[in-house]
Each structure stands twice: as structure tokens, then as C-alpha cells.
Structure 1
């Protein structure tokens, strides 16, 4: 029995098992049906392999995996700071353990590296460059991220089990995988759950096995390969990036990469290996150049609720205010019977509905630290807007209800705030705004001594307020960054690198 038939039998067995499990236990199927997509990802190549069509199976695997990696990588590269924040959650000592916590301070460099590698591996797979190396790298990434998402997906269950057993549970459960940054949340209302992300990685793993099996036969694309692979990949990238995420950039990026691929093929003489490495070098410059550009000048596509043109007050309206059904939460109790010693877990809603509290034998032994979702519904994109002044009073509402133009300077980490040129630009901006009677203030997550030192060193006569660091990073990725507000609406945002003078802002935006 050849290797093609063995893999086909394995994948068909997996697909059948997933079908049976999906119908026998519907709770394993997610709301986005990614479980069924993973099932199809095992089924289609299995059928092709068993039909003795390994080339077709390889084409399917290359097109799907390559396209997904390109879009996924570009979304991360568009917002490396946001991806870095998510990595910091995973690198918490209580999330993955002490070993991974050692990478916490390297989250941003890792986010750059991973986002670029995803794009380059996706392009290499579609172009047929260095297939053996690429297939092993893809397998390593899908296995690692599959383990990571499974580990986080089972965290809640492990927490419940520990609670039921009366044991302590110190792990931090990461409930949002951050696989597509804020893009999925901004386009469909929420990001993938850890289980949905695990199913995605599982589907990619099945397809990557096919690529790995036949990587020795994959060479730099010839005419036939290009005719089959590139148009279909373009369609998937267009649907995935343009339709689902409302972002055409991945499509343009892929078209430009294809042009570079054709130019290298026609202009460079020599072996496929030589052309592959030259192609890799040029595409790496293009990919990491884009990542660096968005890091310096802000993401070119902002999926967050603080994007230009959005009104923060509108984003904070509750389900009741909008007249829609909101998400229902409940606490989870560990109940212990003082007479029999029996233990059981129960959410607070059922506890009240069944009036368990009337039975004095049942005592609440402990409660999960975080409430669980009982029924998914509408949740405001922005839950709170808390900004504290020197008197420890929340002035968030005052900022949002200001009917006039105001300039909000975000400096979430004063130890890393860029000095020199940005400090001088900020001083010039503040002077111009104050002379025109426009309110300008700064918000930081740093302590008093740090921002006072910065203010005096740069002779900056503006008020400083404080807020949560993640909250400030969500508003704007730059440190410092400037936001123009009016009555809660974000008119424009600027990074430190492109901070304008006040006269330019007044002329273009204050009309």
C-alpha cells in the first residue's frame, strides 16, 4: 500500500469520525461551522488521494493553506502592536507557564517575525518555492498553534473540574485567540473562540500533511501550475480578505507578489533554487516593509471601535438602549452539601430559578473568578471609557461630551515614549492649540513621577490624566499618538511619526 493511499485512508477515517461526532454531539459544532470546514479539509484530499489523484489533492492543499496564511499574516502585519498584546496574554506566567513567560518582553519582535513568516510561507507555497522547507515550517506552525489553541480551549473545562474537586486553579484562561487580530471582531462582531481556532488549525494541519507528503515533487511553478493555482488563490484571497474582512489590500499585495514572481522567473537565469531565494528576499522586504510601515504610521485598516469616523458614545450603547437582546452571564458556583459531602457545580441563574438557596444543606463553597456566557447576545464594542484625573475622579464622560474639538494625546508608556523630534512636535502642537483656545490634554498609564518628569523636561504645559494601558493601546497604537475628537467622534488620528502642527489640523479638519 503506497503512502498516498495510507494518508487517504487516515484522512477519510478522521472525516467520518468528525461527521459522526458532529451529529451525535452537536455541542462540538461551533457557530461559524469551522468544525465542518475542518471536516471538509480532511474529506476532499482524502477522496482525491484514494481516487489516485495526488496532484489534484496537492493543488487543493496548496491553494487553501497558502491563501489563508497570506491573509492571516497580513492582518497581523497590519497591526503588529495588537498582535503583540495578544502574545503578552499567552506569555503570562499563569497562562502557559514559566518557560513561555520568558518571552513576554519579546512579544512585539515575535509578532513582527510571525506575521511576516506567515505571509512568506503562504506565498512560497503558492509559487512552489523551496517546498520541502516550507512544508516542514507550515507543519510546525500548525502543530504549535493547534496545541496552543487546544490548551487554551480546554482551560475552562480544567477550571471547572478543579473547582468541582475543590482544588485550586492558578491558570489564566485566554478566551480570545487573536488569530485574525481585530479584523474578525470588526467585521462579524466577534473573534474566534479557542475551540473555533483549534478547528481552523486542525483543518490546516490535514491539508499541510498532504503538502508535506508530496513536497518532494513540488517545484517552482510552471505554466500549468500557475494557471491552476494563482487564479483560484486570488479568488480565495479576494473572498477572504475583501468580502469577509472588507479589506482589499491582501488582494493587491498578492497581485504585486505574483508580478514580482513572474519578473524573477523571466529575468533571473539559473536554477530554481537561485530564483527561489531571490524571490524570497524581495518578498521579505515587501512584507516586513509593510509591517514596519504600519507600526510607524498606524494600521492602514483599523477594525477597532476607535477607528476614524466612529463615535465612541455610540459604540458604548448597551443592548437595552438599542432595544436588542444582550449577552446573558452567570456566575458558576461550587456547591457542597454539608450533610452528605456531595459537591456539584451550578450557574447562578439555575441556582436562583430552582431556589437551591432554600435548602440550607447546600452551601456555596466557591465561585469561579469570571462569569460564564449563558446566552450570547449583543455586547457594546466599547464597554467603558474610564479616564482619571489627579483627584481620582473619572472624567471620561466629560471628554466624550465635549461639543467642541479637542486633541487627546495618548502616551501609554512614558518610559518608551519617543523623545527628541516627537516631543518637540508635541510642544508645537500644544502651543498652537492653546493659542486657538482648543483643549489639548494627555492620557498615560504611567505613574505621576514619569509623566511629570517628561512634562518638565519638554516644557509641556498640558494636563495629564491616567487610564489603563491596554485601553490606551486600543485607542491608538502609537506611543505617543494624537486623536482629534468632537462630541465623542474620532475625527482623525496621527502617529508620532506623522504628527502635524496645529495649523494643518485646523485648516483640514476644523471646518
Structure 2
């Protein structure tokens, strides 16, 4: 009897190669996103806003940890052939779904990037679509190879490994949520001098003008602002959509060049970044939602800074209509306005601290990890 295609050695080798490629892709994609749940939640919110499902935004953080953790878990199970029949079905279904989603994102409802590899690797929707077109047949080959196997026939070792992969993947996302990403792929990583990075030219002077595009949270209307216009800094009214240059030069999004601090007296970016010695920048998303425990940690940090002769400022996207000082419980700290998107790019936490030494980032911590 002529052997079936599944029994041929060449097909088995092909299916193994496809399984390994899929596994590595899922692991890389899941890992780069699950270690940055805040960034993934922002991308999820962007998709929800585009598809008119803003009502689901409060669940975006939970969904981002679950989705990326599941992707990482699926890659590990493919790699070690754990419950391979069931996982091959999930892999094929997910590839079909995301191929259609990226096609939609590249045509009818375009986005700047898909976010499939988090901040580690930026791909356009078309690049992601063609990547998925390559992976989709591989998922089909793996599904076809293990199709005769029983779906719910599990060995005790497979059940144990499934629980281990699930626990590790979800805990990794939760750990990075309550602390900071294990690997920082963003421009404000430790070792970067913000002032020098801001001054690094992306295009020759005079060739372009930077335009910020923001969406009104109440009306949905998109509006363009110049960098000097302070209105876009009102995080309660405007949501960042895009940054582009008005010239023939391809638009490059130099995120760190958008770093700006203001108060009622005007721009204070240069003054703050040129502070000699150590500077603690306390980042507070909202004073009304600042927990007493976090406020006490920041108060102790203010005391510690005074003892070592360091400076302290507070950065917040909350609107400041006058020269503002905030007392965390151990002395008043000068406050400055910062764009909400910029602060989330600099510090992946609701509240925390960024430490500068002569303008260079030397440490970043979630408020839970402030131990002066």
C-alpha cells in the first residue's frame, strides 16, 4: 500500500521545520509583548478606538496580559510538542484571524504599526500581513500533520507542562505590570541622556516641520498641533494619534524629541534637564488617584533626596493652571506638565520615579519599588 502523505519522511521533516518556525515566532512575539503589558494595553486601546469599541478599554490591561501570555504559552507548547493536536488548531485559527485583521489594518482601517512584536521590532501593517501569509501555510501544515491525533488525549507530563507554561507566561506579564518591563526597548532606557538625544537631528534643519495629530476624546475629531501649542498636553481632552513631518522627507517619529515640560511660566524642559547632579523626577498620572502608600514612598524619597543634596521635581499630565507645588508629606515639590503619552513612553507604570544624573537616565522604578 502506498504510504499517505503524512507518513512520508519529507512531509514529516517539513512539518517539524514549520512547527519550529511557528514556535519561535510565537515565543518571540509573545515575550516582547508580555514583558511590556502597558505598551500592549495602549496598542489594544488603539485598536478598540479604531473599531469603535471604547467601552472595552477598562479591560485592555487584563486582555493584553492574557493575550500575550497565551501566545507565549502556545509557542512553548509547539516547541516541546505538548498537546500538539489541540495547539495546532489554536495556531491555525489564530493565524487566520490575525492575517485577516492585518489585511483590514493595512487597507480599510489603517494603523501606524501592528504591534505584533511590541516595541522591539516595528512592522507596518503590510509587512505584518505578508509575514502572516508566510506563517499561515506553515500553521496549516502542522495542523494537517497532527490531524489524526486525538484532541483531548493528554499524558500526565503534558498536563503538568501545560500548567507550568501557563503559570510562567501569566506571571511574567503580571510581574512586569506591577514592576517595569524586563527589557526596555523604548528611547528612554537607562543610559540615555535625554537632552543629547533630543538634540540629535533626524533630518537636516529647515527641511521639515513636526506636526502632532491628536484625537478629541469627546467628539472623535482629529486635529493637528505644532510642538509649541500647549493645548495638546491636556490628556483629559486629547489622545495622541500620530506624529509626522510636513515635507518630502519620510516621516520619522523621534519620540524622545517630543519630551517637553511646561508650567504656567512656560517651557521648562531645558531648565530641568540641565540640572547638575542627581535629579529625581516623580511621575504621577493623577494626583486624585495616587494611593496613600505610593505617596508615602514618594515622601520618603523626597526626604532622602534632601539629605543627599539632590533635586526633586514632579511630572504629571494633570492640567496645571498656575505654578504648582505638591506636598507628598515631607515637603513641597515643584510640578510640571508632561504629555501623557510621553510619560507612558518614559515610564511604563501608573506612578513611579525616573532618576537622572547630569541629564542621563540612571534608574527607573515603579512606585511599588521605591526604596529610598
Q: TM bucket by the smaller chain? A: 0.7 to 0.9
* C-alpha RMSD of matched pairs (Å): 3.3
1:297 equivalent in alignment to 2:250:
no
- Partners in 2 of 1:208 and 1:415 — Cα distance? 49
Say which one has the larger Rg: 1
1:444 equivalent in alignment to 2:327:
no
- Partners in 2 of 1:455 and 1:370 — Cα distance? 35
> Cα distance, 1:177 vs. partner?
1.3
Q: Which has the higher contact order (CA 8 A, sep 6+)?
A: 2
- Partners in 1 of 2:88 and 2:208 — Cα distance? 42
Structure 2 vs 1, CA of residues 328 and 149 (structure 1 numbering), >3 Å: closer, same or farther? farther
- Counterpart residue number, 1:402: 275
- Counterpart residue number, 2:201: 318
Structure 1 unmatched ranges of 5 or more: 6-48, 156-170, 185-190, 221-270, 331-368, 502-511
> Cα distance, 1:108 vs. partner?
0.9
- Counterpart residue number, 1:492: 363
1:126 to 61, 68, 79: 79
**Contact 2:244–2:251 under 8 Å retained in 1:** no
- Partners in 2 of 1:456 and 1:305 — Cα distance? 30
- Counterpart residue number, 1:201: 132
- Partners in 2 of 1:298 and 1:494 — Cα distance? 7
Between Structure 1 and Structure 2, the one with more strand by share is 2
- Partners in 2 of 1:125 and 1:205 — Cα distance? 15
2:260 to 371, 381, 386: 386
TM-score (structure 1 length as normaliser): 0.59
Structure 2 vs 1, CA of residues 82 and 395 (structure 1 numbering), >3 Å: closer, same or farther? same
**Contact 1:120–1:284 under 8 Å retained in 2:** yes
Q: What's the CA shift string for 1:443-477, capped at 9, x where partnerless? A: 1112459xx8x956756521222221111011011
> Cα distance, 1:82 vs. partner?
0.8
1:471 equivalent in alignment to 2:342:
yes
Between Structure 1 and Structure 2, the one with more helix by share is 1
- Partners in 2 of 1:371 and 1:490 — Cα distance? 28
Structure 2 vs 1, CA of residues 456 and 396 (structure 1 numbering), >3 Å: closer, same or farther? closer
- Describe how 1:202-351 pairs up with structure 2 within 5 A: 202-217=133-148, 272-316=154-198, 317-320=200-203
Structure 2 vs 1, CA of residues 219 and 416 (structure 1 numbering), >3 Å: closer, same or farther? farther
TM-score (structure 2 length as normaliser): 0.80
Question: What secondary structure, in the 3-state scheme, does the structure 1 residue paired with 2:114 have?
Answer: coil
- Counterpart residue number, 1:337: none
1:143 to 96, 101, 105: 96
> Cα distance, 1:439 vs. partner?
1.5
- Partners in 2 of 1:192 and 1:483 — Cα distance? 29
Aligned residues: 335
Structure 2 unmatched ranges of 5 or more: 212-242
1:420 equivalent in alignment to 2:289:
no
Structure 2 vs 1, CA of residues 383 and 71 (structure 1 numbering), >3 Å: closer, same or farther? same
- Partners in 1 of 2:252 and 2:57 — Cα distance? 33
- Counterpart residue number, 2:237: none
Structure 2 vs 1, CA of residues 371 and 403 (structure 1 numbering), >3 Å: closer, same or farther? closer
**Contact 2:22–2:75 under 8 Å retained in 1:** yes
- Partners in 2 of 1:457 and 1:490 — Cα distance? 23
> Cα distance, 1:422 vs. partner?
2.0
- Partners in 1 of 2:281 and 2:337 — Cα distance? 12
Extract structure 1 runs of 4+ deviating beyond 6 A.
Answer: 326-330, 369-373
